[in-house]
Amino acid sequence: DYHKGHLNPNADHPPGPGQEATYTLANVAPMYGSLNCGKWRANEEQVRKISEQCVTMYVVTGAVPGDNWILDKDKEKRVNIPSHIWSAFCCLDNNKRPIRAEGSL
């Protein structure tokens, strides 16, 4: 059971163009529903909470290509299923000094 998992969560943006941009195919990866609604969501919520302590936060997220594929109706490889999803952030204070940095896989 795969979900269309957001790499950059729509909940991190106010309504408008920024939030709408999170619905593009460039921002999604197939994720097991249990991951998308479980540990990945918890990670997103934790980063969102930490961001409240930051003046500026930089977040980088990506997917590691896996060996499995979602096939099309002709049994051709259509969408790669990532082996891992990762995210890292750096939180800066008002002097642009890093005060916290973490990553998750």
pLDDT score recorded for residue 53:
93
Asked whether the beta carbons of 22 and 13 are under 8 A apart, the reply is yes
All domains of the chain in start order, with CATH: 2-104 (3.40.570.10)
Q: How far apart are CA 31 and CA 92, in angstroms?
A: 30
Which residue(s) pair with 62 in the sheet? 86
pLDDT score recorded for residue 1:
84
Q: Given a cut of 90, is residue 29 above it in pLDDT?
A: yes
Residue 2: Cβ-neighbour burial (10 angstroms; 0-12, 13-18, 19+): middle
Which residue(s) pair with 80 in the sheet? 69
Q: How far apart are CA 51 and CA 28, in angstroms?
A: 22
Q: Given a cut of 90, is residue 3 above it in pLDDT?
A: yes
User: Whole-model pTM?
Assistant: 0.87
Q: How far apart are CA 21 and CA 5, in angstroms?
A: 14
